[in-house]
Structure 1
Amino acid sequence: MRLLRAEDLFRKVLEGGSKKKAARLLGLDVGSKYVGLAVSDEQNRIALPLGVLCRTKTNINLMADDFKTLVLKYSLAGFIVGYPFNLHGQHCKNAVQVRLLAGELSKTGKLDDMSYTYWDENFTSKCVEALLHPLKLNNPNEAKTMVDKFAAVYILQGYLDNMNRKLRSVDKTEESDGT
């Protein structure tokens, strides 16, 4: 797996789609027990909830296999990994587990052709918890996995919105320049 700048990964996705299938992105909300997953639609405009993977210290190869399956099933071109930056854009102490997962997945060699980027995940779980609170989910495990899955949606949607907005502003600039 290769770490790319956010804009470079989006450019790769836009250029990487074939005529048969568009390249898509997978959003990840990395936690200590679960990794929430969301996938973009084929136009890379909308994030859709997908599920969660259980995370343990010993199942990294199984996780890499699961990711490889998702890459093939959804024509994925890259991963958008939620990353906890602090208010000044610096790394937080919780970022260690995110970097650890990315490093462990890279070491398996099963995702060598994939790229990823980090995207700010601050307050995603809190926002999702607030949205889900009125549902009064009684099963704590169900509630936790639901939060993780929709936090991944929130992360991926933030990335897609930002990248598509940048793309439109570049297109408008080129139109006004006559290029």
Structure 2
Amino acid sequence: MRLLKAEELFQKLLEGGSKKQPRLLGLDVGSKYVGLAVSDQKNRIALPLSVLGRTKTNINLMADDFKTLVKNYSLAGLVVGYPFNLQGQSSPDASQVSLLVGELCKTGKLDDLSYTYWDENFTSKCVEALLNPLKLNDPVETKTMTDKFAAVCILQGYLDNMNRALRSADKCDSASGQ
């Protein structure tokens, strides 16, 4: 896997060149679960997908799951939620994210895939606030639902930002006559 800047990943997506429009997979990485969301075919809307269980021993299975998702959804890359800190310090949550990405890289199964990090601060808290009125009784269901929709928030934030920048650049090009 290859780390790209957020803009570079989106540019790669736009230049896809295949029959099927390439898409992106959003990840909300936790210590027990990884929430997944996928973009629609126009890369404008993030949709909830699933949650993968995460253990120290299942990294090869996770890499296989990601390979299957790459094939089934024509994925061009991953948008990985990362808890950026204004002070530039590493947090335990950031370590979890870096550890998972590093382990996935080491498998060698996703070498053709690119990824970028995207700020995930407060996504889980926002989702918890939205799910709270549903009064879900099962703690595992609540946690997995939170992780899945946190992945949606991460990916949607990325898509909104990149598409807004693209529209802004298009307006500038039109105004300058290019």
Following TM superposition, by how much is the alpha carbon of 1:94 offset from its aligned partner in structure 2, in angstroms? 1.6
Task: Give the letter for the 2:73 counterpart.
Answer: Y
Q: Secondary structure at the residue paired with 2:92?
A: coil
Counterpart check, 1:75 vs 2:74: yes
Q: 1:35 to 1:177 in 2, by over 3 A?
A: same
Deviations along 1:29-74, one digit per CA (max 9) or x if unpaired, are 0000000000000000000000000000000000000000000000
2:24 is equivalent to residue 3 of structure 1: no
The answer (yes or no) to whether the contact 2:36–2:148 under 8 Å persists in 1 is yes
Q: Partners of 2:17 and 2:65 in 1: how far apart? A: 22
The yes-or-no answer on 1:24 pairing with 2:23 is yes
Alpha-carbon distance in structure 2 between the residues aligned to 1:160 and 1:88: 26
Encode CA deviations 1:84-137: one digit per residue, 9 max, x unaligned.
Answer: 012356543320110110010000000000000000000000000000000000
* Residue in structure 2 matched with residue 13 of structure 1 by the alignment: 13
Give the Cα separation in 2 of the matches to 1:115 and 1:169.
25
Tell whether 2:138 aligns with 1:139: yes
How is 1:54-69 mapped onto 2 (pairs within 5 angstroms)?
Answer: 54-69=53-68
Q: CA RMSD in A?
A: 1.0
Q: Is contact 2:26–2:154 with CA below 8 Å preserved after alignment?
A: yes
4+ residue segments displaced more than 2 Å: 87-93
Segments of structure 1 that go 5 or more residues without pairing to the other structure are none
Distance of 1:169 and 1:90 partners within structure 2:
32
CA distance, structure 2, for counterparts of residue 57 and residue 39 of structure 1? 25
Cα distance in 2, alignment partners of residues 75 and 162 from structure 1:
22
Q: Which amino acid aligns with 1:3?
A: L
Unaligned runs of 5+ in 2: none
Q: Which residue of 1 aligns with 2:127?
A: 128
